[in-house]
Amino acid sequence: MSQRYSWTTYLKHAFNNWYNYISIGLIIGLALIFKQEGLLYLGAAAEIVYLYMCVSNPRYLRYVDSLIGEERELDIEPLREHLWPLIEDSLRQRFTKLAELANKFEGETISTLQKKDPFYQENRRKVAVLLANYLKIAFAVTRYQAYLADVDPEEIQLDIERLEEEILDASERVQQVKKKNIEVLTKRLEKLKKASANCTYLSAQMETIEDTMKLVVDQAITLSDPKGTGMQIDNLLLNLQETELVAAEMESFDELEQGLTDEVFHLPEKE
């Protein structure tokens, strides 16, 4: 079975657990009590066999992979550090408030017993997923807003209307040029409208995440219906799958970045 991580990673997980610590402590304790050095050698040999069996067991490797995956899913700090300089200030402030709200999910008001609840642990993971989605959407919204700020749709529409009027009295050769410009400007206008719609949609989804997070934290603190809370988050995460496609569209839709650099033929001045 191919390993996702280095063998030292699995070795550390096998060694660093309380059951192993207890076993090692027991062997050392017995060796000291009975003053038998041989017990230490026996314990060392048993430890080597135990570690070897762990790192060579595919089932154990999958178990460690799942643990590391959960840890990484809960840790959104690398993503935040990467996207933070690229997100608009007001959206940063909104994320900061949302993160502070999510921190209450780990606060002193949550009992140790509650934190061991499988539904609570799963909801905690889902909250981290929501925060990560919020960051990605905030980044996409920032890019859309920057694009929209550089383009005036009314000016484009006026240019289209002007060219349509000028075509009526132009020669055939000039008509071809003006038609090409109308085509380019129309394409720009369509991209602009789509970008505006996408930005509005993503902004609405950010508000939905904020509202859902408030509800999740309230229910966690009041110990009410953790299973129902998980279902509410699941429904939102399902909707966010479409949101991810819309957000990613800003990456793949190169025209949005090049919207003002499309080739436009020289327009002869109207006499």
Cα angle 53, 56, 62; round to 5: 110
Distances (CA, A) of 154 to 26, 96, 157, 159, 193: 79, 36, 5, 9, 11
116 φ/ψ angles, rounded to the nearest 5 degrees:
-85, -10
pTM of the model: 0.64
Cα angle 53, 17, 54; round to 5: 10
pLDDT attached to residue 213: 82
| Identity at 129, one-letter amino acid code | V
Per-residue pLDDT of 191-246, as tens digits, reads: 888 888 888 988 998 998 898 888 777 776 665 555 565 666 666 666 666 666 66
> Which sign, positive or negative, has the C-alpha torsion 246, 248, 254, 258?
positive
Per-residue pLDDT of 106-127, as tens digits, reads: 665 565 656 666 667 777 777 8
Per-residue pLDDT of 20-61, as tens digits, reads: 889 899 989 988 888 888 888 898 999 999 898 988 888 888
Instruction: In whole angstroms, give the CA distance from residue 62 to residue 64.
Output: 5
The encoded tokens of residue 118 equal: 């499988």
